[in-house]
Amino acid sequence: MQKRGEEREFGKRGQITLFVIIAIIIVAIVILIYMFYPKIATMIGITPKSPQVSIQDCMEDELGKIVEQLSLQGGSLNSSNYYAYEGNKLEYLCYTEEFYKQCVMQQPMLKQHIEGEISGAIREKSKECFGKMKSDYERAGYDVNLQQKNMTVELLPKRIIINFNYPLTLTKGASKRYDHIDVILKNNLYEMVIIATSILNWEARYGDAETTAYMNYYPELKVEKKKQTDGTTVYILTERDTKNKFQFASRSMAWPAGL
């Protein structure tokens, strides 16, 4: 009997210990949730990501693809005056149809032209991304006020910045306002475009450009010049580390076969 009583006593103690452990675990979980709620909520989709992160994540891949295509096509997505080279339509940035003549500049404001091309190409995607962000916040119980004003694209050293001047106010109890949202893509397109403009000036004046001069000044860059049979010259600028390219065509001081 005594043994049975002892066994009962041990069972009760065990139960109590178990309950205490469970209680401690529950308290710990509650504390953890309290401490890391925003992150956990975002992870499981209760709270949307911050507007900046949401738009950056949504647009980054598409922007990268557009910039890559532009870079491989001399800065235009749909050029009609191009040279077909290894599956890419390289825009003639300086061009003459004649022989023995210097080329005529076709894109004198190349940087601005590329900014315009990027701006046009990402418009639809940006609408989609802002729409998605808005609906995510609304689903999470926020009152969303988004004014879609204007968007600017800027090529800068080592990066491309898309500035959405879209004032956004999120209200859920308290209000939070964002004046603008920026999407940043790390890229050296700016540097390559500036070098391309220098090459183009040489093409327009002398019908040729010396590649090694650029490689001496910019060791991180490989500059290739490929003269084609019809007198077109293809220039390929490659960043040695990332292998990012900017390539374009020029036709200047072309020579015909024979006389």
Partner 1 sequence: MRNKKDGILSKIKVEQITNRKIMLAILIMAISILTSISLISSVSLSYCCEKTTDGAWCQNTQLEKCNPAFSKAPTSCDATSYCKMGCCLDMKGENAEGTCMENTPQKVCENSEGVWADNAKCEVPQCSLGCCLMSEQAAFVTQSRCKRLSSLYGLETNFRIDIADEVSCIVSARADVRGACVFEKEFEKTCKMTTQKECQDMGALLTSNSSSAVKFYEGFLCSAESLGTNCGPSEKTTCVEGKDEVYFLDTCGNLANIYDASKIKDKNYWREIIQKSDSCGAGSGNENSATCGSCDYFLGSTCKKYKAGEDKVKPNYGDNICRDLSCKWKGKTYSHGETWCEGEGTSKITPESVPENGAEGAVLGNPKADNLPGTRYFRLVCYDGEVTLEPCADFRQEICIQDELNGFKAAACRVNRWQDCLAQDDELDCGNTDKRDCKWIALKGSIAGIDAEEACIPKYAPGLDFYTIVGSTAAVAPQPFQGTQAQQSVQANAPAQMVQGQGSAESICGTANVQCIVEYEKGLTGGEKCKKNCECETDVWKNKMNNLCSFLGDCGVGMNYKGIAGSLGGVEVKIEKGVDEGE
Q: Is 103 in the site for partner 1 (CB under 8 A)?
A: yes
10 Å Cβ neighbour count for 251?
24
Q: What is the closest distance, in whole angstroms, from the C-beta atom of residue 178 to partner 1 in the complex?
A: 23
Residues numbered 191 to 210 that lie near partner 1 (CB under 8 A) are 194, 197, 200-201, 204-205
Closest to partner 1 by CB, 37 or 217: 217
3-state secondary structure of 27: helix
Residue from 66, 72, 90, 94 touching partner 1 (CB under 8 A): that is: 94
Q: What is the closest distance, in whole angstroms, from the C-beta atom of residue 253 to partner 1 in the complex?
A: 9
Segment holding 123, helix H or strand E: helix 110-139
Over the window 209 to 238, marking each residue x when it contacts partner 1 by CB under 8 A and - when it does not, the resulting string is: --xx--xx--x--x-xxxxxx-x-------
Which one of 4-12, 103-111, 118-126, 177-185 is the stretch in contact with partner 1 (CB under 8 A)?
A: 103-111
| Residue whose C-alpha is closest to residue 89's, from 106, 73, 68 | 73
CA distance 10 to 105: 94
Asked whether the beta carbons of 106 and 123 are under 8 A apart, the reply is: no
| Residue whose C-alpha is closest to residue 50's, from 62, 61, 42 | 42
Q: What is the closest distance, in whole angstroms, from the C-beta atom of residue 139 to partner 1 in the complex?
A: 39
Residue from 18, 27, 30, 156 touching partner 1 (CB under 8 A): that is: 156
**Backbone phi and psi for residue 137, each to the nearest 5 degrees, phi listed first:** -70, -40
Specify the length of the chain in residues: 259
Residue 39 buriedness (CB in 10 A; 0-12 / 13-18 / 19+): exposed
Interface positions with partner 1 (CB under 8 A): 79-81, 92, 94-98, 102-109, 111-113, 154, 156-157, 194, 197, 200-201, 204-205, 211-212, 215-216, 219, 222, 224-229, 231, 240, 254-259
